[in-house]
Amino acid sequence: MRELYVFCEGPTEQGFCAQVLAPHLFPQCEGCIHPIKVANGKRHGIVYRGGIFKYAPLKRDIQNTLKSRGEANVFFTTLIDLYGLPSEFPGKAENHRDPGNPTPYVLALEAALGIDVGDRRFVPYLQLHEYETMLFSDPDAFEFSFENCAPAITALKAVAAAVPSIEHINDGPLTAPSKRIIDVLPAYGGRKSSAGPDIAECIGIAAIRAKCPHFDQWLTKLEGLRW
C-alpha cells in the first residue's frame, strides 16, 4: 500500500489531511496518509508535539521518521506555515520575502529544507502564508460551520478581493489569514481544529488549488510521485 507521511503543525492540518488530502490522493483507498504533529522538543524522555518553535526538533523528527521507513512506496512531506517559522529555519537568513511576490521566497526556503533533510523521498512544502489561506478560496463555505455569519463572509471576500491572490494575504501578527478570520468571526478561534478542515472540505480541493497556485504546485508533485 502507498503511504504518505505529512508533518503538520497541529490538529487543523491533520484534519485537512484526513478529510481533504487523503480522499483526493487515494480515492480508491489504495494508499493512506499519516498526518503527524511535528515534534517541538523533548524533556525528561517525553517528546512534545505541535507547533514549531525551533528548527532542530523538526529536522530530527523528520529524519528519524525517514530512517524508520525505507520502503520505496513510502514518501514524506510537510504541511507547515510559512508564517512564524523560527529564524534558524533553512534559507531564512539568506533570503528576503517580497510582500508583492512571496513565491520566490517560499520556494527558496523549501529548497533549503529539502537539501538540509537530504532524502529524495521528502517533498518539502510551506503553506503561503498559513493554513487559513485556503479558506479564503470560497468564504461562502463558512456557512457550513457558522450560523449568521453573512457580515463576516462579506468582510473576508473584501480581504480576498484586495490582494493579487489569496496567497498574498501576509504574515503580520495582526494580518495573517487566521487573524483576519478571527477578527471578523471570533468563534473561529475556538473551533479552528474542527471548522478549518470542515470548511476546506466544503470548498473542495479543486477550488482551493485554483485559487492557491503554490498549493497547486505541491499537490501536483504529490500526484506525480512514483510510488
User: In terms of domains, do 53 and 156 share one?
Assistant: no
Task: Identify which of 24, 117, 131, 133 has the alpha carbon closest to the alpha carbon of residue 77.
Answer: 117
Cα–Cα distance for residue pair 177/95, rounded to 1 Å: 22
Tell me the mean pLDDT in the region 124-140: 97
Same domain, 29 and 85: yes
**Whether residues 164 and 83 fall in one domain:** no
Number of domains in the chain: 2
- Sign of dihedral through CA atoms 28, 12, 152, 155? negative
Q: What mean pLDDT comes out for the span 112-131?
A: 97
Decide: 161 and 222 in contact? Cβ < 8 Å: no
Q: Which pLDDT value is given to residue 53? A: 84
Residues 9 and 75 in one domain: yes
157 alpha carbon, distance to own chain's centre: 21
Full-model pTM: 0.93
Give the pLDDT of residue 179.
Answer: 96
What whole-number distance in Å separates Cα of residue 84 and Cα of residue 81? 7
Can you give the pLDDT at residue 42? 73
As a dihedral over the C-alpha atoms of residue 123, residue 114, residue 92, residue 126, rounded to 10 degrees, the angle is 0
Give yes or no: residues 179 and 95 share one domain.
Answer: no
pLDDT at residue number 198: 98
Tell me, what amino acid is at 121?
Answer: R
Cβ contacts of 112 within 8 Å, gap of 6 or more: 90, 91, 94
The domain of 162 spans: 132-207
Q: Which of 123, 118, 25, 134 is nearest to 77 (CA)?
A: 123
- 197 shares a domain with 136: yes
pLDDT at 99: 87
Judgement on whether residues 218 and 191 belong to the same structural domain of the protein: no
Q: Are residues 152 and 167 in the same domain?
A: yes
pLDDT for residue 5: 98
Q: Both 102 and 157 in a single domain?
A: no
Give the whole-angstrom CA distance, residue 137 versus residue 133.
Answer: 8
- Among 43-47, 171-175, 207-211, the range of highest mean pLDDT: 207-211
Phi, psi angles (nearest 5°) of residue 79: -135, 80
Q: Report H helices in 83-204.
A: 103-117, 150-161, 177-184, 187-203
Q: What is the per-residue pLDDT across 32-79, written as a single tens digit (0 to 9) for each?
A: 999 999 887 777 667 667 788 899 999 999 999 999 999 989 999 999
Mark whether 81 and 158 lie in a shared domain.
no
Joined together, the cell numbers standing for residue 18 give 484526513
* CATH number of the domain residue 18 falls in: 3.40.50
Q: Are 95 and 106 members of one domain?
A: yes
Same domain, 106 and 11: yes
